[in-house]
Chains A and B, each alone.
Chain A
Amino acid sequence: MLNVNGINVGYGRAMVLHDVSLELQEGEMAFIVGRNGAGKTTLLRTICGLMKPSKGSITYRDDDTRGMPPEKLAQKGFRFVAQDKKVFSDLTVRGNIELAAYAAGEDMPQAIKKVLSIYPGLERFMDSKAGGLSGGQREILLIGRALVGDPRLFLVDEPTEGLAAIVIEDIFRILSKLKEDNVSALIVEQNLSVVSRLADRIFIMKEGKIIREISEKSEMADTLALESYL
């Protein structure tokens, strides 16, 4: 479904990704794990069109998406949930969902239903300013908003970062539901408990390269072994 082939990406002359390749199958939930500075976020930002590789190719269902602008990728079904948990703070929660619904051409009741299906608790904040939500609620809103329209590929950057344990469980439940629904997703995550329970495949990154790809269930469940890569 998604093929990244030997891409090199850098900021100016400083190369961050070196000959990175990965493949994601339809309905697969894959995780990217690695230390800070390994290039995980850069890889996601490149796939979602924010950065252009100087070498290599990115194809999605045989379409060349390398260097394609984010709005075109969004229309193809790419959904990027960034690490900073930034919502449109001046809009209400409903306004945030509306913005996604209009872009996707989806009816508002249907869009709201999708968002509430992953976290019904958001209903009582519908008419509150999104800027007043907690970090966890904002992350949930962002993931929920990404469900609006016809999402084909989720690119999620560190969804549990900086969240309390109880909220991490909520995020875990939401990601589990996405997995049950066979949503294709590539997720950067450092919380190995979440990774080992949800991953169909794990890519380990170090110094701008994918140094290992794990798809064996037993290996993925071994959080101690995974921890050695962090």
Chain B
Amino acid sequence: MSYLTSHSAPSGISATKRITIYRDMVLIAAGFLALSPLLAMHRVTDFMIFCIFVMSFDLLYGYMGRLSFGQMLYLGTGVYVSTLFSLHFSPNPILSLMAGVVGGAIVAGILGLIVVGLDGASFALTNLAFNQVGFFLIGSAFQKVTHGEDGISAGVEPWGFLDFANEYVAFGFVLLCLLLTFYILRILTSSPYGIVIRSIKENESRVKFLGYNTFFYKWLTFVLAGAFAALAGTLYTLYVGFVSPVFIGPLNNVEVIFAALIGGAGNLFGALIGGVLFMAMKDSLSTHITQWEWVLGVLLLVIVFWLRGGVTGLIKTMYNYGKAKMAKRAAVEVEKG
């Protein structure tokens, strides 16, 4: 496990890098706080939960290069495990949250053993197939427990100050979870583990030649992505309080894929920007255009043909262009002077 968090190497987590991460976390918190007066606070809370989900997907797709059409399965597992836990074991929100996350990680751990050996279309479609099975189990096979399409209310009760009916508390708690997710993923992706999974994305067989058991790294990443997706799911349970099979619907995978592409895959800021932009577009477009999804289709075409790096890629390109232009101007002035 020392590969995951080794601090000894130059590209491990130095003190400077940690300060940068803390600065980024302050910026993210400030950004969401600034959004809340512009949109309703409960919408921003929704946005943040979705952003956690996008970050979980980005770990798998953006960092490790494995496109999954089945990430909703883990979000749905988090939703249903935490809901059923709150109804049958304890109404404590923290325990329900932990149960949901552990449930998502366990399901990902088991299915990961089957899917991480695959790649490309096989990986994407096998995940979709498992998601479809999960949807069927929740919606039909286990209807007595889950109430199928009718949905089910969670039994979570307030615990101390943690009352999710209070939108300020909900906002603060979800923001805390988002910052914690960002911190953990930043530390992991900057560590040697992060270097290994990015290298797997580029050339897996060469990583094997260096002596790495790539299966283990892929499985671990799959489990982490599942656990963070489940975290987003449990937050929906705590916040919305009512769950239905829509939270595990395979068709909704399109949303997280879109969000990651819009923001720029392989970059946690991209996941956050993409998550916010996607949710904002979904909110505003759906109120003005009946078939609003076609706008997303056009946007996807623009991204695929002209903006492969998404919004963060565009910002980076513009920054580099500006920097090069300024350097050129400075060189001309030195020559003149």
Q: Which residues of A contact B199 (CB under 8 A)?
A: 88, 91, 99
Interface size for A (C-beta < 8 A) is 28
Instruction: List which A67-88 residues lie within 8 A (CB) of chain B.
Output: 69-71, 74-75, 79-80, 82, 86, 88
* Contact B9–A98 (Cβ < 8 Å): yes
Decide yes or no whether B206 CB sits under 8 A from chain A. yes
Q: Which residues of A contact B212 (CB under 8 A)?
A: 71, 103
Instruction: List which B184-212 residues lie within 8 A (CB) of chain A.
Output: 192, 195-196, 198-199, 202-203, 205-212
* Contact B205–A103 (Cβ < 8 Å): no
Q: Given the complex of chains A and B, what is the CA–CA distance between A156 and B41 in angstroms?
A: 61
Nearest-Cβ distance from residue B212 to partner chain A, whole angstroms: 5
Decide yes or no whether B168 CB sits under 8 A from chain A. no
Selected from A70, A90, A108, the residue in CB contact (under 8 A) with B9 is A108
Instruction: List which A183-204 residues lie within 8 A (CB) of chain B.
Output: none
Selected from A82, A90, A107, A108, the residue in CB contact (under 8 A) with B202 is A90
* Contact B213–A71 (Cβ < 8 Å): yes
Nearest A residue to B211 via CB reads A74
* Contact B208–A102 (Cβ < 8 Å): no
Fill in one digit per residue for B283-297: 1 if any A CB lies within 8 Å of its CB, else 0: 000000000000000
Selected from A79, A82, A99, A149, the residue in CB contact (under 8 A) with B195 is A99
* Contact B11–A100 (Cβ < 8 Å): no
Q: Which residues of A contact B206 (CB under 8 A)?
A: 82, 86, 88
Decide yes or no whether A101 CB sits under 8 A from chain B. yes
Q: Which residues of B contact A108 (CB under 8 A)?
A: 8-10
Decide yes or no whether B3 CB sits under 8 A from chain A. yes
28 CB contacts below 8 A, A to B, read A69-B208, A70-B205, A70-B209, A71-B210, A74-B209, A74-B210, A74-B211, A75-B211, A80-B209, A82-B206, A86-B203, A86-B206, A89-B202, A90-B198, A90-B202, A91-B195, A94-B10, A95-B195, A98-B9, A98-B10, A98-B195, A100-B210, A101-B9, A102-B192, A103-B211, A104-B210, A104-B211, A107-B8
| Chain B interface residues (CB < 8 Å from chain A) | 3, 6, 8-11, 192, 195-196, 198-199, 202-203, 205-214
Given contacts A91-B195, A98-B195, A102-B3, list 7 more A-B pairs with CB under 8 A.
Answer: A48-B209, A71-B213, A82-B206, A86-B206, A88-B198, A90-B202, A98-B192
Give 9 nearest A-B pairs by CB, closest first: A74-B211, A103-B211, A70-B208, A103-B210, A102-B192, A71-B208, A108-B9, A88-B199, A75-B211
